[in-house]
Amino acid sequence: MVNTKVVLSGWQIDNPVIPAAGTFGYGIEFKDFYDINILGTFSLKGTTKDPRFGSPTPRIADTSMGMINSIGLQNPGINVLINEELPQLKNFFRKKVIVNISGFSIDEYVYCSKLIDKEEQVGIIEVNASCPNLECGGKPFGFEIESIKELTKAVKEVTIKPVYIKLNPNITDIVSIAKAAEESGADGITLINAITGMRIDLITGKPVLASIMGGVSGPAIFPIALRMVYQVSRAVKIPVIGIGGVSTAEDVIEMMYAGATAVQVGSANLKNPYVCKEIIENLPEVMDRYGIKDLNDIIGKA
C-alpha cells in the first residue's frame, strides 16, 4: 500500500490532485462523469464581488501544446456563490473546497474574504493576485512587493481560514513576491497562473482573441511552472501548490519532487473531463514503479 494523503495548512486531503479554478466550474459540470469525491478537493470557479460577463468573444483558442484564453473572470458574483452554488454543492460533494477570489481593489478582496470566512464548506481561500489594481494604475497586484504585502495583510485580517496567494508568473523575480506574501501572513502559495501570449489568424491577419492577448496554459508551460515551484518552495517555509501543464500522474510526482505539497490540474480538464480521475487511479501504480511509498517523502527532494 502506498500513501497518497497530504496536508495543506492542517487540512489532510486524500490525494494531492486538485482541479484548478476556472477549469472545473462549481463541480456540478463534472459530477455526472464520475464521483468527484475521489478528488483531494477542487478550486471553485474564480469569484468576484459583483457579477461579471467577462471578455468579448472569441476568448479561447488552441495552441500547439495547450490553449490560450481571456475569459475575463466571468462569474455570477460572490453572493450567488454563497447563496446558490455552495448549498447545491453539498448535495454531491462531501469535502471542503478551495474558493478562488479576485478583485480590482483591496476592498473587493476583503469583501469577498469576509463572506467566505463564514462558510464551513471552504477549507482554503485562494487569492488570485493576477488582477489589475484599478486604484493604483492597473498593474496586477502580484507584480510588486508592496502591493502583494498589502493585499495579503488585508485578506488575513478578515479571515481565520488559510490564505493561499496565487502568483502571476509574468514577472522577473517570482521568489521575491512569494517571500513577501509569506512575510505578510500567507499560509501557502499557488503557482503558476497562465503566461501571457497571443495568436494571430493568418486569414484575417488579426489576433485570434478579441482582447488580443490572453493566458497560455497546457503542457507547453509545464517546465516553466516546475522551475518556479522549485525556486519558490526553497525560498519559503509555507506549502506550495503547483500548477501549470499537469496532465498525468508522472507530472504530479515531478511537481512534488520540485517542492509542491499538492498539484492543481487546469486546462487538461477542458480537453478530457476524466483526466483527474485517471491521474488519481494511476498514481499508486506510478508510485510503485518509482519505489515511492509515501508522497510526503518526495516533496522538495529534487
Pairing of strands 214-217, 195-197: antiparallel
Q: Is residue 290 part of a domain?
A: yes
What tens digit of pLDDT does each residue of 147-185 get? 999 999 999 999 999 999 999 999 999 999 999 999 999
Pairing of strands 97-101, 122-128: parallel
Which helix (H) or strand (E) is 208 found in, with range?
none
- Non-local (6+) Cβ contacts of 70 within 8 A are 55, 59, 60, 209, 210, 211, 213, 214, 215
Q: Is residue 17 part of a domain?
A: yes
Q: Would you call 215 helix, strand, or coil by DSSP? A: strand
Give me the residue label for grid cell 463541480. Answer: 27
Q: Is residue 84 part of a domain?
A: yes
Q: Is residue 203 part of a domain?
A: no
Angstrom distance (rounded) from CA 52 to CA 73: 7
Strand order of the β-sheet with 214-217 is 60-63, 66-69, 214-217, 195-197
Q: Beta-strand (E) ranges in the chain?
A: 6-8, 11-13, 17-19, 60-63, 66-69, 97-101, 122-128, 163-166, 188-191, 195-197, 200-201, 206-207, 214-217, 240-243, 262-265
The total domain count for the chain is 1
Q: Is residue 231 part of a domain?
A: yes
Residues, the chain: 302
Angstrom distance (rounded) from CA 197 to CA 224: 14
276 part of the active site: no
Q: Torsion-angle region of residue 31: left (phi > 0), alpha (psi -120 to 50) or beta?
A: alpha
Q: Which amino acid does the sequence have at 215?
A: G
Q: How many CB atoms lie under 10 A from the CB of residue 74?
A: 15
Angstrom distance (rounded) from CA 158 to CA 177: 22
What tens digit of pLDDT does each residue of 52-64 get? 999 999 999 999 8
DSSP-assigned letter for residue 267: T
Q: What is the pLDDT of residue 133?
A: 72
Among 3, 25, 11, which residue's Cα sits nearest to residue 266?
25
Catalytic residue among 112, 131, 136, 276: 131
Model-wide pTM > 0.75: yes
Q: What is the pLDDT of residue 140?
A: 85
Using CA atoms, how far residue 167 sits from 63, 130, 174, 176, 291, in Å, is 23, 7, 8, 11, 33
Q: Is residue 274 part of a domain?
A: yes
Q: Is residue 204 part of a domain?
A: no
Angstrom distance (rounded) from CA 233 to CA 62: 31
Q: Is residue 53 part of a domain?
A: yes
- The answer to whether residues 279 and 265 touch, using CB atoms and an 8 Å cutoff, is yes
CATH number at 187 reads 3.20.20.70
- Non-local (6+) Cβ contacts of 234 within 8 A are 259, 300
**Range of the structural domain that residue 95 is part of:** 6-58+70-197+216-297
Tens digit of pLDDT per residue, the chain (302 long)? Answer: 999 999 999 999 999 999 999 999 999 999 999 999 999 999 999 999 999 999 999 999 999 899 999 999 999 999 999 999 999 999 999 999 999 999 999 999 999 999 999 999 999 999 999 887 767 667 889 899 999 999 999 999 999 999 999 999 999 999 999 999 999 999 999 999 999 999 999 999 999 999 999 999 999 999 999 999 999 999 999 999 999 999 999 999 999 999 999 999 999 999 999 999 999 999 999 999 999 999 999 999 99
Angstrom distance (rounded) from CA 43 to CA 143: 23
Which helix (H) or strand (E) is 86 found in, with range?
helix 86-89
Q: What is the pLDDT of residue 137?
A: 67
